[in-house]
């Protein structure tokens, strides 16, 4: 999956990104108050890779995922997305400082985020939810955006719901709209925080099917999920988090059938 | 009891030009003060939500002082007190070809300041009522916080804010009656002058009361129409019918929990 584009490396390609890694998190630490949530987390995700993050509740999975699009700031370490520090930059004195709100928004536009509780905009129709950001943020013409939004709704199996109110949809349908909404920005990376854990069991399948389709289409994804069958199927790599650190990382078969860490074994015995 | 019916009907149905201009002034002062108070209230609310501590402190102090002192006292300080101390004097000024009395300017400023403190609290709780996830979704799509505020948060918060804001405006229209204390010739002041000249005290104040009732009733219709438009646009059930809210009849059970209605029951007059 990891390919080298030696020939195409231009001056604008940062030297810190030699292996085409889309995400590169180094020694990330984060506390809430005096409670340490993330301790020296290192995570590298290559373009096109599907990484599934698992671990017990409270391990810091959501927090880690949110640092990748800077919904959460970090105390130390660094996170690069597409080679750029996310939400931070190095100023002319070599000091790491916050990026402007506008600059951070530009970075986030390339990172799709799917929330556990969907967070659709209830004051808009389904189609408006999907097309809003492309029109407002990317300033693309509305008719073109609407065409693409309808295409995406078709892809997630909701072509007939374009004009519906989000309130009238089931949880599974809302989550599929949320995925279409994120895809409308043509993101380079998609982050999913337990996208099916708020759903009734009979609706989990329809959302996972959409995500499998994305994986097959080559989308780079980091997914927090406890759906082990799904993980086995789509994950290139499973990352196990516990108490704010990554304790294990590897191919799904290896992690599931031959875990190295006791805590992984304990956790897996509960979810498998 | 002596009640001069012919005089009463005459005053009610064909009010004098002075009375009508008093009525007009009441409406104009109310609308202008409310419009300005909305802007200032939004600014105070945003300062209160700011991460910048001096802004937060200023907003808290402002709300504390304004809400903790009577409007009457505030008006007298602004108009009479400031002038007496040589701080500031409201002079009659020409605005777009019409002369605006100093007292009217002071009235608008005073009502605006007073109302903005209450409005900022309404705005604050309206903004807070929108789930945090809404803002996070907007940010994750590449919107700036300001953009998210405009397109995602405010449109949803407005629906929550309209009923209490409408009630606030209702109260504002009625509190214009105390502007007579600084010599603004609004409806109440014109009424007092008339009653002093004719001794028809009871008749005149009943007429004055009925005109205030007319204003607040008309406003209740407008407010209901606004709430309905917003609810329909959001795909929610309609607001309470006007006659119910005018007479204080509230449905005991809401069919669906519509926060715009449930949070702050709107009562008329
Ligand atoms: N905003 C916050 N403020 C304080 N503590 C938080 C906040 N967000 C998360 N936490 C705490 O951080 C820990 C990790 O949370 P989280 O990242 O949500 O874990 P996971 O997603 O693995 O269940 C939990 O103990 C949680 O209570
Ligand atoms: Mg979580």
Tens-place pLDDT, residues B86-133: 999 999 999 888 889 999 999 999 999 999 999 999 999 999 999 999
- Tens digit of each residue's pLDDT (9 = 90 or more) over B153-163: 999 999 999 99
Distance, in Å, from the CA atom of B245 to the CA atom of B224, rounded to the nearest integer, reads 9
CB of A36 less than 8 A from some CB of B: no
Distance CA A177, CA A156 (A): 7
Helices B17-49/B102-128 angle, 10° precision: 40
Longest CA–CA separation in chain A, Å? 56
pLDDT at position A19 is 58
**Among B141, B159, B235, whose Cβ lies nearest the Cβ of A137?**
B141
- What is the spatial distance between Cα A180 and Cα A197, in angstroms, rounded to a whole number? 18
Q: How far is CA B231 from the centre of its chain?
A: 22
pLDDT digits (tens, 9 = 90+) for B164-175: 999 999 999 999
Q: Which of residues 171-200 of A touch B (CB under 8 A)?
A: 178, 181-182, 185
Q: Judging by DSSP bridges, how do beta strands A245-250 and A35-46 pair with one another? A: unpaired
Which of the listed residues A38, A62, A263 should we mutate to test ligand 1's pocket, taking the one with most ligand atoms within 8 A of CB?
A62
pLDDT at B235: 74
| Regions of chain A where pLDDT drops below 50 | 1-17
**Closest chain A residue to B158 measured between Cα atoms?**
A123
Q: What is the pLDDT of residue A148?
A: 98
- Of all residues in chain B, the one with the smallest CA distance to A117 is B133
Checking ipTM against 0.85, whether it exceeds it is: yes
Separation in Å, CA A93 to CA A86, A90, A269, B167:
19, 8, 51, 55
Residue A232 β-bridge partners:
none
**Residue B139 touches partner A, C-beta closer than 8 Å:** yes
Kindly list the residues from chain B whose CB atom is less than 8 angstroms away from the CB atom of residue A108: 139-142
DSSP A169: S
Out of B140, B146, B147, the one facing A113 most closely (by C-beta) is: B140
Query: What is the structure's pLDDT at A6?
Result: 43
Q: Which CATH number fits domain B8-248: 3.40.50.300, 3.10.20.90, 2.10.10.100, 1.10.3720.10?
A: 1.10.3720.10
Helix B132-140 vs helix A101-108: angle between axes, to the nearest 10 degrees?
80
Q: Is the pLDDT reported for residue B224 higher than 80?
A: yes
The Cβ of residue B128 has, within 10 Å, a number of other Cβ atoms equal to 14
**H/E element, A22:** strand A21-32
pLDDT score recorded for residue B250: 67
Evaluate if residue B258 carries a pLDDT over 50. Answer: no
- For B45, phi then psi, to 5°, come to -65, -40
Contacts of B256 in chain A (CB under 8 A): none
Q: What whole-number percentage of chain B has pLDDT above 70?
A: 93
Under a CB-based contact definition with an 8 Å cutoff, are residues B92 and B102 in contact? yes
Its pTM surpasses 0.90: no
Name the H helices within A55-170: 61-68, 101-108, 126-136, 142-155
A29 Cβ partners below 8 Å, 6+ apart? A36, A38, A39, A40, A41, A74, A75, A76, A77
Sign of CA dihedral A115, A119, A121, A127: positive
Q: How many CB atoms neighbour CB B89 within 10 A?
A: 11
DSSP assignment of B90-154, as one string? ---EEETTEEEPHHHHHHHHHHHHHHHHHHHHHHHHHHHTS-HHHHHHHHHTT--HHHHIIIIIH
Coil, strand or helix: which one is A168? helix
In angstroms, the CA B72 to CA B111 distance is 10
CB contact at 8 A, A94 and B205:
no
Interface test with A, best of B137, B153, B154 (most A CBs within 10 A): B137
Residue B238: predicted pLDDT: 82
B92 touches chain A (CB under 8 A): no
Q: What is the pLDDT at residue B2? A: 86
Per-residue pLDDT reduced to its tens digit, B11-59:
999 999 999 999 999 999 999 999 999 999 999 999 999 989 999 999 9
Which of A119, A165, A167 comes nearest B137 by C-beta? A119
Contact (Cβ atoms closer than 8 angstroms) between residue B120 and residue B114:
no
Residue B209: pLDDT over 90: yes
Q: How far apart are the first and last CA of chain A?
A: 28
3-state SS assignment for residue B56: helix
Q: Which residue has the tokens 């709780």?
A: B125
Is residue B240 very low, low, confident or very high in pLDDT (cuts 50, 70, 90)?
confident
Q: At residue A53, what are phi and psi to the nearest 5 degrees?
A: -105, 125
**Residues of A with CB below 8 A from B152's CB?**
121
For residue B97, the model assigns a pLDDT of: 85
* Secondary-structure percent of chain B, ordered helix, strand, coil, rounded to 5: 75, 0, 25
pLDDT at B234: 78
pLDDT of residue B269: 37
The more confidently predicted of residues B17 and B233 is: B17
Q: How far apart are the first and last CA of chain B?
A: 28
CB contact under 8 A, A137 and B142: yes
Task: Answer whether residue B251 shows pLDDT above 70.
Answer: no
Ligand 1 centroid–CA B153 distance in Å is 25
Q: What is the mean pLDDT of residues B224-253?
A: 81
Q: Are strands A237-242 and A50-54 parallel, antiparallel or unpaired?
A: parallel
Cβ contact A262:A242 at 8 Å: no
Q: What CA–CA distance (Å, rounded) separates A83 from B190?
A: 73
A189-232 tens-digit pLDDT: 999 999 999 999 999 999 999 999 999 999 999 999 999 999 99
The C-alpha atoms of residue B247 and residue B162 are separated, in whole angstroms, by 20
Give the binding-site residues of ligand 1, using a 6 Å CB cut-off. A 32, 37, 55, 57-63
Contacts of B240 (CB under 8 A, 6+ apart): B224, B250, B251, B261, B266
CA distances from A102 to A106, A108, A129, A269 (A): 6, 10, 21, 45
């Amino acid at each position: 999956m990891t390919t080298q584009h030696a020939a195409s490396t231009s001056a604008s390609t940062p030297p810190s990104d030699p292996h085409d890694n889309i995400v590169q998190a180094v020694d990330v630490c984060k506390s809430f108050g005096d409670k340490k949530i993330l301790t020296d987390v290192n995570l590298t995700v290559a373009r096109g890779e599907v990484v599934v993050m698992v671990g017990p509740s409270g391990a810091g999975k959501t927090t880690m995922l949110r640092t990748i699009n800077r919904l959460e700031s970090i105390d130390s370490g660094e996170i690069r997305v597409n080679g750029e520090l996310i939400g931070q930059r190095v100023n002319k004195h070599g000091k790491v400082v916050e990026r402007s709100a506008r600059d951070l928004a530009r970075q986030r536009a390339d990172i799709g985020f799917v929330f556990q509780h969907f967070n659709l905009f209830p004051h808009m129709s389904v189609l408006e939810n999907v097309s809003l950001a492309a029109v407002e943020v990317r300033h693309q013409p509305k008719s073109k955006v609407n065409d693409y939004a309808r295409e995406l709704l078709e892809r997630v199996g909701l072509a007939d719901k374009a004009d519906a109110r989000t309130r009238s949809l089931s949880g599974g349908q809302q989550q599929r709209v949320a995925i279409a909404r994120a895809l409308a920005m043509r993101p380079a990376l998609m982050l999913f925080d337990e996208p099916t854990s708020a759903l009734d069991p009979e609706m989990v399948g329809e959302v996972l099917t959409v995500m499998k389709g994305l994986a097959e289409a080559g989308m780079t994804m980091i997914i927090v999920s406890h759906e082990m069958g799904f993980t086995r199927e789509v994950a290139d790599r499973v990352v196990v988090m516990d108490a704010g650190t990554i304790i294990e990382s590897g191919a799904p078969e290896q992690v599931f059938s031959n875990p190295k860490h006791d805590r992984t074994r304990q956790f897996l015995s509960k979810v498998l | 009891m002596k009640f001069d019916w012919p005089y009463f009907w005459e005053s009610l149905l064909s009010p004098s030009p002075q009375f009508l201009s008093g009525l007009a002034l009441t409406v104009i002062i109310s609308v202008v003060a409310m419009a300005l108070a909305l802007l200032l209230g939004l600014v105070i609310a945003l300062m209160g939500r700011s991460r910048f501590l001096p802004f937060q402190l200023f907003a808290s102090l402002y709300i504390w002082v304004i809400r903790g002192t009577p409007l009457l006292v505030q008006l007298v300080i602004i108009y009479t007190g400031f002038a007496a101390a040589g701080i500031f004097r409201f002079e009659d000024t020409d605005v777009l070809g019409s002369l605006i009395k100093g007292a009217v300017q002071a009235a608008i400023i005073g009502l605006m300041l007073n109302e903005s403190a209450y409005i900022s609290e309404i705005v604050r709780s309206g903004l807070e009522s929108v789930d945090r996830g809404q803002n996070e979704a907007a940010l994750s799509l590449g919107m700036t916080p300001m953009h998210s505020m405009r397109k995602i948060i405010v449109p949803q918060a407005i629906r929550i804010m309209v009923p209490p804001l409408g009630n606030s405006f209702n109260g504002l229209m009625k509190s214009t009656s105390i502007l007579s204390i600084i010599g603004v010739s609004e409806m109440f002041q014109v009424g007092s002058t008339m009653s002093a000249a004719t001794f028809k005290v009871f008749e005149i104040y009943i007429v004055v009361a009925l005109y205030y009732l007319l204003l607040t009733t008309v406003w209740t219709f407008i407010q209901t129409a606004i709430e309905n438009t917003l609810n329909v646009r959001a795909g929610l059930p309609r607001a309470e019918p006007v006659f119910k809210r005018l007479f204080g009849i509230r449905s005991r059970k809401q069919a669906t929990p519509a926060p715009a209605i449930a949070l702050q029951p709107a009562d008329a007059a």
